[in-house]
Amino acid sequence: MSSARRALVTGGSRGIGRGIAETLARDGCDVAIFYAGEEGEGRAVLDRIESLDRRTWMRVGDVRDSRQVNEAVETLASHWGGIDILINNAGVFRDEVIWKLTDEQWREVIDVDLTGVFHFCRAVTPVMRRNGWGAVVNVSSINGLRGKFGQTNYSAAKAGVIGLTKALAREVARFNVTVNAVAPGLIETEATRSLPEDVRRQSLAEILLGRAGQVEDVAETVAFLCSDRARFITGEIIRVDGGQYI
């Protein structure tokens, strides 16, 4: 039986989620990923984790579907004997000014970025309660703190994640479970590289350090929050943004 901590990362097949999964594995965790897309997309992540001599597991699914979430969590917890770390990273954005925003664009972002976090927290925290230890880290955004033009849906969802994080921290602290969030600014990923040039330029101009962040900047912060070094930190929202929020 492995004595490593057991982590589950949603949206773990690429971008920030992949970076987090691989960083946790580097730090000695067994890492499972849950993501939407083709099964082959996660194989490279699992290969990397396995190369670090860590156990892996993956499931393709939809965070919006509570039945899929519950089944995945039950299966993984039974397979590994528990889940110690939960990283809620899965997310989408469908940007549009509010008078052009469709019901579908609103619903998809809220359902993935906020309801998906709720589904996984609801499913995993009972496992952590039984084990007497856990760390939950939710990926929010500085736009959940300040709002952003063209992102009423995304900003609302990410603000909801912040409220959920603080409330859940109160509910599970007595079980030795910490709950925190990171709020990235502009991070270099496949998604942000596809932003319109004027939007990207405006975002870069806001960053005090004068450059976009890297995936590892977020991943290292998340790994810290999951470690014993952060054992007295809970209910916090940590910005990883190079000063973009200021």
Phi, psi dihedral angles at 113 (to 5 degrees): -80, -25
| CA atoms in the 13 A half-sphere facing the CB of 96 | 11
Active-site residue (options: 142, 154, 157, 230): 154
Answer yes or no: are the C-beta atoms of 161 and 181 closer than 8 Å.
yes
Answer yes or no: are the C-beta atoms of 213 and 240 closer than 8 Å.
yes
CA–CA gap between residue 186 and residue 194 (Å, rounded): 12
Q: How far is CA 53 from CA 8, 12, 48, 115, in A?
A: 17, 18, 9, 34
35 is catalytic: no
Closest CA to 154 of 88, 91, 202: 91
CA–CA gap between residue 11 and residue 150 (Å, rounded): 23
Catalytic annotation, residues: 154
